[in-house]
Structure 1
Amino acid sequence: MRRMWTPDTGRTSTSQDNAVHVVAVSNSGIDMDWHSVAALDDFFVNEHYRQVDAMDAILELYGSQTGNCTRSAIALEEAGLPYTVRLVDLPGGEHRRAGHLALNPAGKVPVLVEHRPGKPDFVLTQSNAIMLFAAERVPGRLLPHTERARATAYERFFFFLTDVIGPAHASFFLQNQGIADGAARLIERMITTLETADLYVETDEYMAGDAFSIADIAAFTIAASVETQVAWARLPNLRRWYEMVGSRPSVVRGQRAFDLS
């Protein structure tokens, strides 16, 4: 039995034929030889078993009310992946205790743990890795399918990570070290860089095009942390995008994931 792919519908069907030689797609004008069909056949079979295997997974997200944890929660929400929140008491030092250090020796949050029957637990300890995990678990939901669109999503995603979120984390460190002036300068630079993203959404609905992606999650969570400091009045495109993303049900749920009061 073979699995047949219909490009104009995106659906698969099955055939009892031992071999499939040619698939002609009249709507798109594409002729696919049997080598292409065999490759697609293998793809869909592997994808089917990957998704079935993933359905047995139980996800636990350890964290607290921080930007990194919120990004992870929003990604899981947007991907439609069920998970259980495990609140880590940071003020109480729970992240420095043996139980949490067994998951992440660095004593940081978030931590994602995936449990599957008969398999060792899988642990991820970086928020950006968790976001990419969610994006790849449900293809097309948080990253575009096409190569160029996906490349743009990565470009914008890393822009916010390195040029906006990175300086914000450095500012937090300097503030804790008593270097208030240096911290303030970094925040000022971070906000200035964030505001340049107004150009990204001048003609596109989202940060990386016409579809929501991991770039929007990274951008929204850092923008929310400095919401009162952004000059929204002179950034109509960014303000429109910010309000739209902030109203998404999955984003709202992700923001509240660690608010267990």
Structure 2
Amino acid sequence: MAYTLFYFPGNANLAPHMALEELGVPYELALLDRAGGEHKSAAYLARNPTGRIPTLLAPQPNGGDQTVFETAAILLYLADNHPDSGLAPAPGSADRGQFLTWLIHLTNTIQPEYRVFYYPEQHVTDPSHAADAKATAERRLGEMFVLVDRELATRPYIAGEHVTVADFLLLMLVRWGRSFARPPRDLPHVGRLCAELLARPAVRRAFAQEKLAAPFI
């Protein structure tokens, strides 16, 4: 039995893709024709009613698949279903709270701000305000990454002393800001962590399979 990850290169599937490679479990990639609107098709919406990418199909012991969507949910699902991987602190452990705090901060606070940056026209009623919305989102994201950088000055990984799926999510979000005037990769502790993650074989394989070209971040 293998997982199936519906994806489009460089989209929010990248973090779960890295996690799947790190886990070393069987999985298949299902490329979506985003330009053709396949992620809005009836077949895809039947699995993921939000019409967003990614979606994970998780094989079940009694047959069939369980559908999981939302990037952080997929990451948490994978880590918790493979506890020996160490990619998430165990429920009830001392580190679990910090892990959940940063996983949710990344997905609830930083990730949504990117929608304003990349799709500013969806967040204004007057099209002439789109450029200002985009610039404001970039400024706000810069402030958010400064906060993350301060946290990383106190520990090697975002959730503690060991790499977790939250670090893969952070790397993906840093990548999305590579065109900023002040890209998050230039922050000392964020840059240090991203360089370490990019050197991991699993991460390199995920980038290669999605055919993502340098500069990676």
TM bucket, shorter chain: 0.7 to 0.9
Give the counterpart letter for 2:86 in structure 1.
Answer: R
Q: 1:228 to 1:244 in 2, by over 3 A?
A: farther
CA distance in 2 between partners of 1:157 and 1:60 (Å): 22
CA distance in 2 between partners of 1:125 and 1:92 (Å): 21
Deviation, structure 1 residue 237: 2.0
Identity %: 25
Give the counterpart letter for 1:185 in structure 2.
Answer: T
Q: 1:232 to 1:127 in 2, by over 3 A?
A: closer
User: Do the aligned residues in 2 keep the contact of 1:171 with 1:186 (CA within 8 Å)?
Assistant: yes
Could you state the TM-score of these two structures normalised by the residue count of structure 2?
Answer: 0.83
Deviation, structure 1 residue 114: 2.4
Partner of 2:7: 63
Partner of 1:124: 68
Greater relative contact order (Cα < 8 A, sep 6+): 2
What aligned pairs does 1:87-126 form with structure 2 within 5 A after superposition? 87-116=31-60, 118-126=62-70
Structure 1 portions without partners, runs of 5+: 1-56
Of 112, 115, 118, the match for 1:172:
118
Partner of 2:208: 256
Aligned residue pairs: how many?
204
Q: Deviations over 1:189-238 (max 9, x none)?
A: 012211221222213111111100122112111011113432655x3222
What aligned pairs does 1:95-244 form with structure 2 within 5 A after superposition? 95-116=39-60, 118-139=62-83, 140-145=85-90, 147-175=93-121, 178=127, 179-229=130-180, 230=183, 235-244=187-196
Give the counterpart letter for 2:14 in structure 1.
Answer: T
User: Do the aligned residues in 2 keep the contact of 1:114 with 1:122 (CA within 8 Å)?
Assistant: yes
Could you state the TM-score of these two structures normalised by the residue count of structure 1?
Answer: 0.70
Stretch deviating more after TM superposition (150-159 or 96-105): 96-105
Deviation, structure 1 residue 150: 1.5
Deviation, structure 1 residue 117: 6.5
User: Do the aligned residues in 2 keep the contact of 1:61 with 1:85 (CA within 8 Å)?
Assistant: yes
* CA RMSD, 1 decimal: 2.3
Stretch deviating more after TM superposition (79-88 or 249-258): 249-258
Stretch deviating more after TM superposition (169-178 or 97-106): 169-178
Stretch deviating more after TM superposition (92-101 or 209-218): 92-101
Structure with max Cα Rg: 1
Deviation, structure 1 residue 70: 0.7
Which SS does the other structure have where 2:5 is aligned?
strand
